[in-house]
């Protein structure tokens, strides 16, 4: 950091410099900090700390409260704890196959215990006799004595504060918590004369009861109490969440500002006739969501709504009801699916749902005609394709179903009113631009958009991931659906029982899926594993049955051929990788075996399980794993519940936070300190604050520091709304 120049004699004293912004801190190289030479600078860069801003936003991962710290005598076997101890001795023990083990004896005034590190030879250099360290781990008994195996270790040094910060450490960079503490202290001391600026409007800060950013940044590193630390954490978490919400709310407002939608005529009877003719009653959730969608369609602001609902919750009926509002007003509907197979599946289902529906037509002798639903995918070719394209352009097609090719150049609509996107998790700026001009009337008219997903998302995560969409939730399953029974399989006897049950179901004329282990490192390895399992089952447990194979390296034609054979019961069993995760609908498939289920996440297992239980016969899903202790919480949650929204909350708690946005700098858009799980209230507050700011200042012209922070943290495509008039 630049030192202030001395004033010359007789001159006016220099004007006080303004507070330091995050942009200022990002411009100061970490080498300016006392004690950071070239070697430590490179080590810090490897740990992702290149500037003073990176340093100050590297927050402690936990704290040791020296006023209330655990002592060795308080350790409980099997219960994780942080304890402050001194190293008494360290030794390295060579093992076979060039492996090694480092052991250490540590303790305090109340007792001692052992540490054991496998294949971490560098621990011998890290740990020195009489050094003070904080150890975090789970104590276990070994030969009657207490020890921790491969615990987290932080070199604390001789810090005497009441609350000791413990920072994330990297074996690769070998930067210790004690060094980070000193560097952070130096950075804060040198920033103190100017202080750190606060971009949050004072009125907002007072209303929310937050401390200033300057106080929060200092306190998060050196709190006087755990209460103070928590107040600082809340403020800094809010800042992260506000940046995200400003982008999302800004994008939403820009979309509404820059696009003219259709104000649909809601007086037509077609939607009502369709809903009354359904062979089953609507759920309360379906009625509520159709009402929400209709309210959007009745306004000239283009709808941009996310419809989330578990497998089987009735999203298709809501989608068709929305498209019929367009059709009854003389416009068209389009449904886009992620694959040709799913487009064809939707086409068959929707055409049968609308089989009896008539459309008013003054040009027809009878004053009405059959509602026309068409399919447009890569497999619709030649004369048939030309006919569908011509009738789309003339208005002869009411509803078209296809893949994303529907919004490409060359596909013209007479008057596109409502678009439904199935299982497309991010319908972005480019896709929206492609829709513009495919609507009714003038070229800038934008159709209404309904995005559907069968992946339930906790509300706070939805507000953050999909904050530029309105969110509707189908949280109720239609009556009469038989729940799927889920069974954990983790020993040989349970495996035998599983295959016996599968064979009994096959003998009764039902079908089964076998899902192969997911191998994240290599698509090639995953396919090889699937081929091997296919051969093993054909010559082993399922040798008396017809077994098909489906994997991601097959061509679209090959995949479709395999699925058609499974659907038509040519195959009794389908061995597959996760390509069956989304949308495949075979009501006769009542059994699913997921091999090495611990390799999958909760959301993926729930999606896979949703491929069975689609008919009237009770279905079962076996989650097989080699080791009962691996993925236990995930597997148990799936055994206990088929409620996708409950599982989404469990998943969030177990998995933690992810990256929210694309970023110019690696990790800049991640949540460093905020949490979906813990900060539900702050997410709502940040969203409200973003609306309050952007309602009066849509381009942040009056909040230049907030705008600058967005520019600093986020990639250009995330902040395109900022620079629009």
Domain coordinates in residue numbering, the chain? 1-59+173-197, 62-166, 213-258+682-723, 270-299+313-453, 485-641
pLDDT of residue 659: 47
Pick from 347, 335, 354: which is nearest to 275 by CA?
354
The pair of three-digit structure tokens given for residue 55, joined into one six-digit string: 């340093």
| C-alpha 99 chain-centroid distance | 38
Q: What is the pLDDT of residues 331-356, one digit of tens each?
A: 999 999 888 878 888 998 899 899 88
502: enclosing H helix or E strand: helix 492-507
Going by their DSSP bridges, the two strands 100-108 and 81-94 should be labelled as antiparallel
The pair of three-digit structure tokens given for residue 210, joined into one six-digit string: 């937050």
pLDDT of residue 368: 78
- The answer to whether residue 664 scores a pLDDT higher than 70 is no
pLDDT of residue 705: 95
Residue with tokens 């936990």: 62
Banded pLDDT at 721 (limits 50, 70, 90): very low
pLDDT of residue 200: 94
3-class SS at 660? coil
286: enclosing H helix or E strand: helix 284-297
- Fold agreement (1-59+173-197, 62-166): no
SS3 letters across 519-567: CCCCHHHHHHHHHHHHHHHHHCCCCCCCEEEECCCCCHHHHHHHHHHHH
- The answer to whether residue 693 scores a pLDDT higher than 60 is yes
Bigger pLDDT: 21 vs 455: 21
CATH T-level assignment (fold) for domain 1-59+173-197: DNA polymerase; domain 1 (1.10.150)
The pair of three-digit structure tokens given for residue 227, joined into one six-digit string: 């209460």
What is the average per-residue pLDDT within 65-77? 81
pLDDT of residue 220: 97
pLDDT of residue 592: 96
- The answer to whether residue 668 scores a pLDDT higher than 50 is no
Banded pLDDT at 68 (limits 50, 70, 90): low
Calculate what percentage of the chain has a pLDDT beyond 90.
46
pLDDT of residue 440: 53
- Four-residue CA torsion sign, 264, 270, 273, 279: negative
- The answer to whether residue 109 scores a pLDDT higher than 80 is yes
Going by their DSSP bridges, the two strands 511-515 and 111-118 should be labelled as unpaired
Its CATH class, for the domain covering 270-299+313-453, is: alpha beta
Are 141 and 78 in contact by the 8 Å Cβ rule? The answer is no
pLDDT of residue 663: 34
SS3 letters across 404-439: HHHHCCCCCCCCEEEEEEECCCCCCHHHHHHHCCCC
Calculate what percentage of the chain has a pLDDT beyond 70.
87
Bigger pLDDT: 446 vs 219: 219
293: enclosing H helix or E strand: helix 284-297
Pick from 99, 240, 120, 107: which is nearest to 174 by CA?
120
Q: Left if phi > 0, otherwise alpha if psi is -120 to 50, otherwise beta: which for 629?
A: alpha
What is the average per-residue pLDDT within 74-97? 89
Q: What is the pLDDT of residues 137-194, one digit of tens each?
A: 889 998 888 999 988 887 776 555 568 788 876 666 678 787 898 999 999 999 999 9
- The answer to whether residue 9 scores a pLDDT higher than 60 is no
User: What ranges in 33-93 are assigned the alpha helix state H?
Assistant: 38-46, 52-56
CA distances from 327 to 270, 271, 418, 453 (A): 8, 9, 9, 23
pLDDT of residue 690: 94
β partners of residue 57: none
The CATH superfamily assigned to 62-166 is Nucleic acid-binding proteins (2.40.50.140)
Q: Out of 144-153, 439-448, 543-552, which region has the weakest mean confidence (pLDDT)?
A: 439-448
Q: Residues near 61 by Cβ (< 8 Å), separated by ≥ 6?
A: 166, 167, 168
Distance CA 19, CA 649 (A): 41
What is the average per-residue pLDDT within 211-224? 95
Q: What is the DSSP letter of 283?
A: P
What is the average per-residue pLDDT within 471-478? 84
β partners of residue 133: 85, 155
Q: Residues near 143 by Cβ (< 8 Å), separated by ≥ 6?
A: none
pLDDT of residue 442: 47
Q: Out of 83-92, 365-374, 461-470, which region has the weakest mean confidence (pLDDT)?
A: 461-470
3-class SS at 90? strand
Q: What is the mean pLDDT of the chain?
A: 85
Q: What is the pLDDT of residues 125-149, one digit of tens each?
A: 889 999 888 888 889 998 888 999 9
Q: Residues near 616 by Cβ (< 8 Å), separated by ≥ 6?
A: 482, 587
What is the average per-residue pLDDT within 249-256? 84
Q: Out of 63-67, 100-104, 222-226, which region has the weakest mean confidence (pLDDT)?
A: 63-67
pLDDT of residue 509: 95
pLDDT of residue 660: 45
Pick from 61, 59, 57: which is nearest to 25 by CA?
57
Q: Out of 8-22, 598-612, 660-674, which region has the weakest mean confidence (pLDDT)?
A: 660-674
- CATH for 485-641 is 3.40.50.300
Give the relative orientation of helices 284-297 and 315-328 as an angle to the nearest 10 degrees: 30
């Amino acid at each position: 950091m630049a030192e202030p120049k001395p004033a010359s004699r007789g001159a006016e004293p220099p004007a006080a410099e303004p507070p330091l912004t995050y942009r200022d801190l990002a411009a100061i190289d970490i080498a300016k900090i006392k004690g950071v030479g070239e070697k430590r600078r490179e080590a810090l860069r490897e740990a992702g700390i290149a500037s003073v801003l990176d340093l100050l936003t590297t927050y402690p991962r936990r704290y040791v409260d020296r006023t209330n710290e655990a002592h060795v005598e308080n350790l409980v076997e099997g219960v994780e704890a942080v304890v402050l101890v001194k190293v008494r001795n360290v030794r390295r023990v060579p093992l076979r196959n060039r492996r090694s083990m480092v052991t250490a004896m540590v303790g305090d005034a109340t007792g001692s215990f052992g540490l054991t590190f496998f294949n971490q030879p560098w621990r011998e250099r890290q740990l020195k006799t009489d050094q003070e360290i904080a150890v975090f781990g789970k104590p276990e008994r070994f030969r009657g004595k207490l020890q921790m195996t491969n615990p987290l270790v932080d070199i604390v040094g001789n810090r005497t504060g009441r609350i000791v910060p413990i920072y994330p450490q990297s074996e690769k960079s070998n930067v210790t918590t004690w060094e980070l503490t000193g560097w952070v202290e130096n950075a804060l001391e040198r920033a103190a004369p100017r202080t750190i600026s606060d971009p949050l409007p004072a009125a907002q800060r007072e209303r929310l009861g937050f401390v200033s950013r300057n106080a929060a940044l200092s306190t998060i590193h050196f709190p006087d109490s755990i209460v103070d630390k928590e107040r600082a954490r809340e403020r800094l978490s809010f800042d992260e969440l506000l940046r995200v919400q400003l982008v999302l709310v800004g994008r939403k407002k820009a979309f509404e500002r820059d696009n003219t939608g259709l104000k649909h005529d809601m007086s037509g009877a077609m939607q009502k006739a369709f809903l009354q003719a359904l062979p089953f009653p609507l759920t309360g959730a379906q009625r509520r969501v159709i009402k929400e969608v209709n309210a959007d369609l009745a306004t000239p602001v283009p709808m941009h709504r996310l419809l989330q609902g578990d497998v089987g919750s009735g999203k298709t009926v809501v989608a068709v009801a929305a498209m019929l509002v367009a059709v009854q007003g003389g416009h068209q509907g389009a449904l886009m699916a992620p694959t040709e197979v799913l487009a064809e599946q939707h086409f068959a289902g929707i055409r049968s749902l609308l089989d009896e529906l008539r459309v008013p037509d003054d040009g027809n002798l009878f004053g009405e005609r059959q509602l026309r639903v068409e399919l447009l995918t890569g497999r619709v070719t030649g004369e048939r394709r030309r006919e569908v394209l011509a009738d789309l352009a003339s208005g002869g097609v009411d509803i078209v179903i296809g893949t994303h090719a529907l919004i490409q150049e060359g596909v013209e609509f007479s008057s596109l009113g409502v678009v439904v996107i199935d299982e497309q998790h991010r319908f972005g700026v480019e896709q929206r631009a492609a829709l513009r001009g495919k609507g009714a009337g003038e070229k800038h008219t934008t159709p209404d958009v309904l995005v559907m997903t069968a992946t339930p998302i906790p509300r706070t995560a939805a507000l953050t991931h999909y904050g530029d969409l309105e969110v509707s939730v189908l949280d109720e399953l239609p009556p009469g659906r038989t729940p799927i029974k889920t069974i954990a399989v983790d020993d040989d006897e349970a495996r035998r029982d599983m295959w016996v049950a599968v064979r009994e179901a096959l003998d009764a004329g039902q079908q089964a899926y076998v899902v192969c282990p997911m191998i994240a490192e290599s698509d090639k390895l995953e396919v090889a594993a699937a081929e091997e399992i296919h051969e093993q089952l054909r010559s082993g447990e399922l040798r008396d049955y017809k077994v098909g194979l489906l994997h991601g390296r097959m061509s679209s034609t090959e995949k479709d051929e395999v699925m058609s054979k499974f659907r038509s019961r040519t195959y009794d069993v389908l061995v597959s990788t996760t390509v069956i995760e989304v949308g495949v609908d075979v009501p006769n498939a009542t059994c699913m075996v997921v091999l090495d289920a611990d390799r999958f996440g909760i959301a993926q297992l729930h999606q896979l399980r949703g491929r069975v239980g689609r008919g009237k016969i009770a279905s079962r899903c076996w989650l097989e794993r080699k080791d009962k202790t691996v993925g236990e919480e995930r597997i148990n949650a799936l055994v206990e519940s088929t409620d996708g929204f409950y599982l989404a909350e469990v998943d969030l708690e177990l998995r933690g936070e992810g990256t929210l946005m694309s970023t110019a700098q690696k990790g800049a858009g991640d949540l460093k300190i905020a949490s979906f799980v813990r900060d539900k209230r702050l997410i709502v507050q940040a969203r409200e604050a973003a609306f309050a700011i952007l309602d009066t200042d849509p381009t942040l012209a009056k909040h230049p520091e907030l705008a600058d922070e967005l520019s600093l943290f986020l990639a250009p495509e995330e902040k395109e709304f900022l620079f629009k008039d």
